[in-house]
Structure 1
Amino acid sequence: MASIVGKRINGRTFYYLVRSERVDGAPKIVSQRYLGAAEDLAAALDGAAGLPESTRHLTFGDVAAVWSTLERLQVRRTIEGALGPRRAKIAMYLTLAVLHRATGSCTGLAEWWKSAAAARFVRPRPPAGAVSDEEFWRVTRRLTRPQLERIEDAVSARIDLPDPTTLAVDVPNFATYAESDTADATLAGLSAIVSRDGAIPLVSRAYLRGGHGVEPFGVAVERLGARRPGEVTVVFDTGQHAQLDLDSGPHFVGALPLGDFPDLLTRPASARRAVDPGRYPGLTALDTRATVFGASRRVVLTHSARLHAAQARSFAQALSGATRQLDGLALALAAGSNRRPREQLLTDIARITRVRWVDRVLSARLSGTRPGELRLESHIDQTARARLDEEFFGKQLLVTDHDDWPVADVVAAYRARYHLDSTFRMLNGSFVAAPAPRWDWSEHRIAVHSLVSALATAVTHLMRREADRAGLDLSVRELLDQLARIGETVLRYPSTGGRPRTRRILTARDATQQQLFDLFGLAAYAP
């Protein structure tokens, strides 16, 4: 039974909504809710408190989906198990850092925490004001490289891999570390063993580029293989084959320079076949054999309609820019306003035309000997331009010793490196700022950051694989962007005598966002 009860305190009457029930045969109050003073109730009835006095928007969808995946993998408990007892705080901060890197790497830890709905459902909840970059680095300052490797090994063991075959990839542009925009930068690369399905990082090792003692890619593969036993296929880019033993080493899939195989480039388009219209629309391939590195090997010449269009646009822009510069220089010479010597002009002309593919179709001739007599003529060879479009644009040449793999699997293996590179660039941005003004990027901090980035990449690539299996063909960037559009709005209403009332609601969702909402179980984290 519910009733309104008034209590008189210091000459004022305050009202409560009281619910009573019989307990052991006697009436007893079981709940009580404060309603306010008489004037508060009157204002509410008049509609004065019907509208919120302020709102606040929090990021929800991407944070909740990543946290849901971290919980499902039991990342925090796994880190505790890898580090031993009394390391719960380190495990909490590392898990929180992975969540931050995946969903808010462009902001500091403290700023991200205030703008996200994570505080509402992340458990155990960190102490108020303790979520900051400074505290993270203080807590993790004594982690050793063997401990970091044990953490990564333990987390990767939690990932379900239907296909035990793995890929070894090298990402030379993993991250650029700097204390500020103008400071000298430290360039770092990352070698990793990833899953064949989804390019999910399993074990990795960062290295400083250009420093002493940088181990070749082949050596890195051997060391990583010791941490992740099993059959591995090495994926290499153009020029990396010199670091590998292709005759007696592991299986491989790599890229070759197009210009080294002119006979393949001139094969007609009719010789290519569609690879897999479902997985790779617009991609065709010629599957054949050629002499590569002194042996007959399987090569796959692919042509992508999307890549062809992108390269054609980029080339047209580069050619237009070079032509404008040459025309401007020619006009200046004809007007007599450019009095530079011939040698200097030849250097400038070479610089202008020394752009990829531009020097194949654009020629320039400088006549005369003395400054006042110099004249410039330029010419675009349309035949060479048509040949370039036909023979080079949209094409890529791959080599492999997997004679039994379908072409689609060869393509997927090679593209794993680009998926990783794209994700790392998204997570790290143009450069990674120093943790605090007084700190620099030491080797230890780079190792910790590399682990956090690798784990964040593993989680987001796992999410992308799950979305793909659900019929959503999205890149990691597109996936997180769709999830981030599911926001949480906090409505703050005027007080009716007690604390201000708040209400939390989620923003509207389209069909794709609703599918992701259901896929990652976000209803469990909704307000």
Structure 2
Amino acid sequence: MASVVGKRVNGRTYYYLVESERVDGAPRIVSQRYLGAAEDLAAALDSAAGLPESTRHLSFGDVASVWSTLERLQVRQAIEEVLGPRRAKVAGYLTLAVLHRATALDVSLAQWWESAAAVRFFRPRLRADAVSDEEFWHTTRRLTRPQLERIEEAVCARVRADLPDPITLAVDIPNFATYAESDTADATLAGLSAIVTRDGAIPLVSRAYRRGGPGVEPFGVAVDRLGTRHPGEVTVVFDTGQHAQLDLDSGLHFVGALPLGDFPDLLTRPAAGRRPVDPQRFPGLTALDTRTTVFGANRRVVLTHSARLHAAQARGFAQALSSATRQLDGLALALAVGTNRRPRDQLLTDIARITRVRWVDRVLSARLTGTKPGELRLEYRTDEAARARLDEEFFGKQLLVTDHDDWPVVDLVTAYRARYHLDSTFRMLNGSFVAAPAPRWDWSEHRIAVHSLVSALATAVTHLMRRAADRAGLDLSVRELLDQLSRIGETVLRYPSTGGRPRTRRVLTARDQTQQQLYDLFGLGRYAP
């Protein structure tokens, strides 16, 4: 039985909602809730009192989904097993850094912590003033490279247990990240070699290296070193020109790209000879599966044509050609009216710079007449026949070579594209430049190694999430997946006080069909307010 009871204290009456029940035959108060003084109740009944006095928005969907995956994989526990129970704080901060790296691209750790719902469910709990970039680097300062490698291998074991026995690939990402060593020093370029799954391009083990300095590690050497940390059969994926770092006759399995211009006979094959690869997974992609002589041996090659890539390259070429002709028009006009009186050699250098753009020099030819300033004139022409051949023979095409005679074409394409999926995710997570917050610090080998581990683990988690979404029928890139999840926000409503502490209510934003499907897929109801 519920009733309102008033208690008079110091001349004022305060009201409580009281619930009574019979206990052993006698009436007893089992609960009471403070309602406030008379004026508080009157204000609560006023229509304006039902409105919140402030709101606050927190990121929820992407943070909760990544955290759900980290929990399912038991990432923090795997790190603790490597470092020991006394380093539990380090394990917690590394896990927090992975969550931050996956969901907050351009925000510091402290700013992200204040604007994310992670504070409600992240375990172990952390004080707000303890979450900062400085504290993270201080906590992880004693980690050694062998420890970082063992941490990655321990998490890799959890990832592999979450997958069927994966086919693995060795890939190289030369533009992994750019680091600022100091305010005045030149930037440090870093690459990353990794072993990833063919299905989903999920990193398993990786190794960062500096670019452009002494002792740069060739890709082939990196593959051998990674193989000691991840034994088993691996297929090396290489890009155009990268084969020079590899010994393709050593029994190594490989899938790689070849320069189109080196195989003109394949480029002129009619489109009727190509067959669709997989209309569902790769719409608009066709392929010609054949053999030819490559690097002195008869090898299997696959010539692919993508309608999407064709359209993109045609647009890019049209823009480049338009830019070149505008520049040549301006130069020709300046010569004709006498405002440009530079020597002939300088003009030839300018013309070469304008026309020396990919494919533009195939269709655009320029001729400079005269010998002295004031007499020089410029003419140019566009070869439409060459432009048509370019469109027919080059745009949208890619030539792959492999020793896997038994793999279907769709698996070869999947393997080759794994590198680009990985590269795209690293670019998204790292941005074009990794800079330290003020005060600036030097990016030492240790800091680069720690950052590389965090980025690799964040990529593994997000690629695993993308694979799960793909299996659920949602064809999304990692960027699209996180974007959809980030739109599931948490709104904190703060209401005026009716006596005592202000009332707070948390609600999630409305979800469309895709967001609801992702909400269910990653079990976000467990983390909802």
What is the TM-score normalised by the length of structure 2? 0.98
2:128 is paired with a residue of what secondary structure? Answer: coil
What residue is the counterpart of 1:458 in the other structure?
460
What residue is the counterpart of 1:391 in the other structure?
393
2:380 partner amino acid: S
What residue is the counterpart of 1:382 in the other structure?
384
Cα pair 2:182 2:442 within 8 Å, conserved: no
CA deviations on 1:114-160 (whole Å, 9 max, x unpaired) are 11111111121112311100000000000000000111000010112
Moved more, 429-438 or 213-222: 429-438
Cα pair 1:163 1:197 within 8 Å, conserved: no
What residue is the counterpart of 2:84 in the other structure?
84
What residue is the counterpart of 1:48 in the other structure?
48
Aligned ranges for residues 442-521 of structure 1 at < 5 Å?
442-521=444-523
2:75 partner amino acid: V
1:199 is paired with a residue of what secondary structure? Answer: coil
Aligned ranges for residues 176-255 of structure 1 at < 5 Å?
176-178=178-180, 184-255=186-257
Separation in 1 of the partners of 2:497 and 2:87? 43
Separation in 1 of the partners of 2:437 and 2:46? 53
2:324 partner amino acid: A
Separation in 1 of the partners of 2:90 and 2:24? 51
Separation in 1 of the partners of 2:405 and 2:230? 24
Q: Does 1:412 align with 2:408?
A: no
What residue is the counterpart of 2:94 in the other structure?
94
1:12 partner amino acid: R
Cα pair 1:195 1:201 within 8 Å, conserved: yes
Cα pair 1:58 1:489 within 8 Å, conserved: yes
1:425 partner amino acid: R
Separation in 2 of the partners of 1:166 and 1:323? 47
2:108 partner amino acid: G
Cα pair 2:181 2:188 within 8 Å, conserved: no
What residue is the counterpart of 1:400 in the other structure?
402
1:497 is paired with a residue of what secondary structure? Answer: coil
Separation in 1 of the partners of 2:440 and 2:469? 42
1:236 partner amino acid: F
2:71 partner amino acid: E
Separation in 1 of the partners of 2:435 and 2:117? 25
CA shift, 1:361, in A, is 0.3
Q: Please provide the CA RMSD for this pair.
A: 1.2
Q: Does 1:17 align with 2:22?
A: no
- Residues paired across the two proteins, number: 527
Structure 1: which 5+ residue stretches go unaligned?
none
What residue is the counterpart of 1:362 in the other structure?
364
2:156 partner amino acid: S
Moved more, 443-452 or 27-36: 27-36
Separation in 2 of the partners of 1:434 and 1:489? 31
CA shift, 1:435, in A, is 4.9
Structure 2: which 5+ residue stretches go unaligned?
none
Separation in 1 of the partners of 2:202 and 2:128? 34
- The change in CA–CA distance for 1:180 and 1:303 in structure 2 (over 3 A counts) is farther
What residue is the counterpart of 2:61 in the other structure?
61
Match of 1:424 among 422, 426, 448: 426
2:309 partner amino acid: L
Cα pair 1:488 1:504 within 8 Å, conserved: yes
CA shift, 1:161, in A, is 2.6
What residue is the counterpart of 2:435 in the other structure?
433
What residue is the counterpart of 1:330 in the other structure?
332
What residue is the counterpart of 1:315 in the other structure?
317
CA deviations on 1:490-512 (whole Å, 9 max, x unpaired) are 11110001111111111111110
Separation in 2 of the partners of 1:336 and 1:435? 52
Separation in 1 of the partners of 2:450 and 2:511? 36
Aligned residues with identical type, % of pairs: 87
What residue is the counterpart of 1:120 in the other structure?
120
Cα pair 2:183 2:440 within 8 Å, conserved: no
2:49 is paired with a residue of what secondary structure? Answer: coil
CA shift, 1:20, in A, is 2.3
CA shift, 1:180, in A, is 7.0
Separation in 2 of the partners of 1:50 and 1:435? 42
Separation in 1 of the partners of 2:510 and 2:183? 39
CA shift, 1:434, in A, is 1.6
CA shift, 1:179, in A, is 5.2
CA shift, 1:192, in A, is 0.2
What residue is the counterpart of 2:136 in the other structure?
136
1:432 is paired with a residue of what secondary structure? Answer: coil
Q: Does 1:295 align with 2:297?
A: yes
Separation in 2 of the partners of 1:361 and 1:522? 55
CA shift, 1:26, in A, is 3.6
What residue is the counterpart of 2:525 in the other structure?
523
- The change in CA–CA distance for 1:382 and 1:445 in structure 2 (over 3 A counts) is same
Moved more, 39-48 or 199-208: 39-48
CA deviations on 1:32-79 (whole Å, 9 max, x unpaired) are 211111100011112231101111111110000000000000111111
Q: Does 1:174 align with 2:171?
A: no
What residue is the counterpart of 1:70 in the other structure?
70
